[in-house]
Amino acid sequence: MHVNDTTSPTVLEQLRRRPAADRRILFTGATLVTMDPATGVLDRGDLLVEGDTITAVGPGIDAGGDAVTVDVTGCVLTPGFVDTHRHAWQAQLRRIMPDVDDLGGYVMSTLAGYAPAYRPEDMYTGTRLAALTALDSGITTMLDFSHNSRTRAHSDAAIEALRDTGIRGVHASMGPHFGEWDRQWPADLARLADQYVRGGDRLLTLRLAALATDQVAGPALAYGPELARVARELNIGVSVDAVFGTASSEAILRWAEEGILGPGVTLIHATGLTPQAWKVMGETGATVALAPTSDAQIGLETAVPAVDEALSVGIRPGLSIDVEVALAGDMFTQMRALHTIQRMRAVNTAYGTGRHPRRITTRDVLDFATLQGARTVGLAGVTGSLTPGKQADLLVIGAEDLNTMPLNDPIGTVVLGSDARNISAVLVGGEPRKWDGRVLDVDLDALRDEVHASRDHVLKASAPATT
């Protein structure tokens, strides 16, 4: 990332000296991958940010003399990625079970074993670590499916962690699967809405989280008319996890009949569903959050990410990370995994038949990771594309780095050639969160000590349950 005076830190200092509401930033000379269908890709253009909002996109923008100009020649500007489903509280247990073979192994070790040992401070540490790492890898919006809400303090800690990192956070609250808890959920959602969302936090959104069926954790956590009523009264969306197979398919048909399936409901995974379930999902406008590496690596139901099924009924899905206890935590991995798996599946299906099933493109998976992700979590009007009027959630990606040069196809470069090291800057609502390749305002030594101490506590406190 080049700038118009001497070094990037000088520009950062200029930006941070100004009140956020009065700040004006002009990015010049970039290749703009806007993900706005009306604008597309601009080979060389400018982007103006005023306060927290994108106000202009195009060539030769005259921003006036009070704008801080950042020359990003040789870079690609994209919208920030949107992670539609991550259990962020688990981050201090990263890759503790990299070769877990099935959902049951994860459930019994993590949800039955480790989760009951979590204190509020462990919720804070795990969620903060996940959010900071998300920012580092270009995820500017993260839905935290926080299904370890044992007490009000556990929920507060998870929300405070999102707020302290500056990520655009979606807190999806659910009670825990196993162990003792206060049974304050879902009633506590009203307090969370009043205390955090209606209080004017522009970066925080609240959703109700639930499971598809009562098979794992009983009826209290399963989506149905009562939980739908809670969400409707609070005017919040619903994210439903563990949407798998025949039982979930039957539940989906039931929700459609009950009138509680629609655009405000996100179904996570959606593997192994029946054609009838997919049909009503498309008809009602329900959204879908795929978890490509989770489905394939852990082996959830069919183990095939359901992108073809979603597209066949007109649903363009969002993408998600799911669980870092076994999986990678960045969106580049999700895009590449889905791109590879779907194309492999298409070719394999057609082999020897003369058929030519559609193969998804790099543009498709970038769309899923940005604009469709925003739509999936209810933020399509806020983020997901470089569109004037939307929030300035954006990435500056080096396209002339060792692993990305030369720039021949900008979308291909972002999806297939880039990773966190190429992201020189991340802005969330116009606020720099990563600059010159470094996440800002983080004491790594202190964070490391906190993460290790929390991890050690959880492992020690849960040892009898996990041996």
Domain ranges of the chain: 8-79+384-436, 81-376
Cα dihedral value 411, 416, 422, 424, nearest 10: 30
Q: How many CB atoms lie within 10 A of CB 98?
A: 10
Asked if 357 and 350 count as a contact pair (C-beta separation under 8 A), the reply is: yes
What residue ranges in 59-138 does DSSP mark as E strands?
68-71, 75-79, 81-86
Q: Return d(Cα 363, Cα 78) in angstroms, integer.
A: 12
Burial class (CB in 10 A: 0-12, 13-18, 19+), 111: buried
Asked if 374 and 384 count as a contact pair (C-beta separation under 8 A), the reply is: yes
Q: What are 324-354's pLDDT values in tens digits?
A: 999 999 999 999 999 999 999 999 998 988 8
Residues pairing with 211 in the sheet:
222, 241
pLDDT at 93: 98
Tokens representing residue 163 in the block: 């707020």
Tokens representing residue 330 in the block: 């960045």
Apex 35 CA angle, 34 and 36, nearest 5: 85
User: CA 230: distance to chain centroid?
Assistant: 24
Cα dihedral value 215, 216, 221, 226, nearest 10: 0
**Topology alike, domains 8-79+384-436 and 81-376:** no
Indicate the helix (H) or strand (E) that contains 457: helix 444-466
Asked if 179 and 464 count as a contact pair (C-beta separation under 8 A), the reply is: no
Query: Which residue type does 372 have?
Result: Q
Q: What is the DSSP string of 367-385?
A: HHHTHHHHHHTT-TTTSSS
Domain 8-79+384-436, what fold? Urease, subunit C; domain 1 (2.30.40)
Residues pairing with 171 in the sheet:
144, 206
Residue 438 DSSP label? E
Query: Which residue type does 123 have?
Result: M
Distances (CA, A) of 78 to 91, 96, 327, 386, 456: 26, 33, 25, 7, 38
Superfamily for 81-376?
Answer: Metal-dependent hydrolases (3.20.20.140)
Indicate the helix (H) or strand (E) that contains 157: helix 152-165
Scored b (16 or more CB within 10 A) or e, 294-323 reads bbbbbebbeebbbbebbbebebbbbbbbbb
Asked if 212 and 241 count as a contact pair (C-beta separation under 8 A), the reply is: yes
Residues 6+ apart with CB under 8 A from 419: 137, 330, 332, 403
Residue 107 DSSP label? I
Asked if 159 and 191 count as a contact pair (C-beta separation under 8 A), the reply is: no
pLDDT at 357: 87
Which segments in the chain show pLDDT lower than 50? 2-7, 465-467
pLDDT at 465: 46
Asked if 266 and 237 count as a contact pair (C-beta separation under 8 A), the reply is: yes
What residue ranges in 214-304 does DSSP mark as E strands?
237-244, 265-271, 287-290
Q: How many CB atoms lie within 10 A of CB 56?
A: 15
Q: Return d(Cα 18, Cα 223) in angstroms, integer.
A: 46
Residues 6+ apart with CB under 8 A from 259: none
Residues 6+ apart with CB under 8 A from 104: none
Q: How many CB atoms lie within 10 A of CB 349?
A: 11
Q: Return d(Cα 367, Cα 380) in angstroms, integer.
A: 12
The H-assigned helical ranges of 7-57 are 8-17
Q: Return d(Cα 296, Cα 342) in angstroms, integer.
A: 11
